[in-house]
Amino acid sequence: MPDILHRISIDAPTARVHELIATADGIARWWTGRPLDGSAEIGGTVGVYFGAAEKPAAVMRIVTVTPNEITWHVVEGPDSWVGTRITFTLRPRGEDATTLLFAHTGWREASEFMSGCSTNWGSYLTSLKTGAESGQFAAYPHGEISRWN
């Protein structure tokens, strides 16, 4: 199965990066630009919304939340997303730096849609990086490079 993988160097403490990935408020700052539905605790689900949409674009069940790993299992969304996993692995680099290993795994096949998602993940992870470092986020719609439709 093909996977989307990214490695990002972030000049911010691991705890700061973790907060932005493991909390609904943090995720909204770098990714959606909009509040999330649900609970970002283990076993909970979060729905992500973009623009004026009334229905979530995707819903993820929270599988893992540790200081160095956050994992989501996609339970609703685009057909090719359902059943995939999104994992953020954080590796501290001293006191003020973090390496983020991102993986969106379990895609059934490589496709044009998957390529667009990889492009957008890269952009949104850059939003996470710059936001963690400077407070300047580029959440949706600024971070969207490849349209879903």
- Residue 8 in any domain: the answer is yes
Which residues on adjacent β-strands are paired with residue 70?
65, 88
Give how many domains the chain has, as a whole number: 1
Phi-psi region of 77 (alpha: psi -120 to 50; beta: other; left: phi over 0): left
pLDDT of residue 149: 66
Helices (H), ranges, 35-108: none
> What span, in angstroms and rounded, lies between the C-alpha atoms of 113 and 34?
23
- Residue 146 in any domain: the answer is no
- Residue 139 in any domain: the answer is no
Per residue in 7-19, pLDDT (tens digit) is 999 999 999 999 9
Per residue in 114-137, pLDDT (tens digit) is 999 999 999 999 999 999 999 999
Low-confidence ranges of the chain (pLDDT < 70): 148-149
Predicted model pTM: 0.95
- Single-letter residue type at 21: I
- Residue 46 in any domain: the answer is yes
Which CATH number belongs to the domain containing residue 33 in this structure? 3.30.530.20
Domain region containing 60: 4-134
The first and second tokens of residue 19, run together, are: 């907060």
Q: Quick one: DSSP state of residue 55? A: S
- Residue 145 in any domain: the answer is no
